[in-house]
Amino acid sequence: MNEILQQLSLCIEKGRVNKDSNYPADMKGMPGAVELTQQALSEGTLAQDILNIGFLPGMKIVGDKFKDGKIFLPEVLISARAMSSAMELLKPYFQSGEINYKGKVIMGTVAGDLHDIGKNIVKMVLEGGGWQVVDLGINVNAEKIIDAINTNSAKVVGLSALLTTTMQNMKEIVRKIKSETKDVLVVIGGAPVTKAFADSINADGYFHDPQGMLDYLNKKMSK
């Protein structure tokens, strides 16, 4: 059983979707993430184990490499694609409650800012790490975020900004979230954002890369 899950993890890491895929060249003809997930399920492997032992370690390797600058976005995207294809097969188990997400994260690019690529990458890595992401899109104000926190009973918010002007909007959004909700972690990111800035506006965390945020959430929320 473990061998299948190890192989599955490798497929996620290398971005191998299914057996018909020509990618990556050195795995041609071999089963991909989809077939291995089907096989594991049919052999009675717990869906939770498939997620934890098969999916997450593969994405973790990719996230760490991206963090260290060893790989670039295409590799992350390819892995995320393999993972999401296989994840489809686990959907019924999430719905039945047999497996659970680690938690819900509300995400959005803050009001006045239209840049969403960074946010979308973080979303992919978090989902690849077993978190459910509620994506509010771009140009999002505090009311919309607070609304989403309440309707989803979420405990984590991720905010993104790429401009100095919109970084300033983050301050007001963080203040409102903190005053109108309880025990919600607010994590911020974006090219111009720094740890010092995060501290100055009372955000709970700043991370330079998606894996940093994922590692933080895994640690913080498992306590």
Contact (CB, 8 A) for 123 and 108? no
* Least spacing, CB of residue 207 vs other proteins, in Å: 16
CA 11 – CA 59 distance, rounded (Å): 10
The stretch among 3-11, 78-86, 175-183, 213-221 that binds other proteins (CB under 8 A) is 78-86
Task: Label the pairing between strands 205-206 and 156-160.
Answer: unpaired
| Angle at 166 (CA atoms; ends 119, 126), nearest 5 degrees | 15
* Least spacing, CB of residue 62 vs other proteins, in Å: 14
Taking the least distance from each CB to other proteins, the nearer of 162 and 217 is 162
First to last CA, the chain: 30
The stretch among 25-33, 40-48, 152-160, 191-199 that binds other proteins (CB under 8 A) is 191-199
Q: Quick one: how far is CA 126 from the chain centroid?
A: 1
Helix (H, G, I), strand (E, B) or coil at 107: strand
Contact (CB, 8 A) for 69 and 208? no
Per CB under 8 A, does 57 bind other proteins? no
Half-sphere exposure of 28 (CA within 13 A, CB side): 3
Among 65, 89, 101, 112, binds other proteins (CB under 8 A): 112
Q: What residues from 121 to 180 belong to the interface with other proteins (CB under 8 A)?
A: 137-141, 162-165, 167-169
Taking the least distance from each CB to other proteins, the nearer of 1 and 73 is 73
* Least spacing, CB of residue 214 vs other proteins, in Å: 19
The stretch among 89-97, 111-119, 181-189, 205-213 that binds other proteins (CB under 8 A) is 111-119
Q: What residues from 22 to 51 belong to the interface with other proteins (CB under 8 A)?
A: none
CA 218 – CA 223 distance, rounded (Å): 9
Q: Residue 13 — φ and ψ, nearest 5°?
A: -60, -45
Binding positions for other proteins, rule: CB under 8 A: 68-69, 71-74, 77-78, 80-81, 111-112, 114, 116-117, 120, 137-141, 162-165, 167-169, 192, 196-197, 200
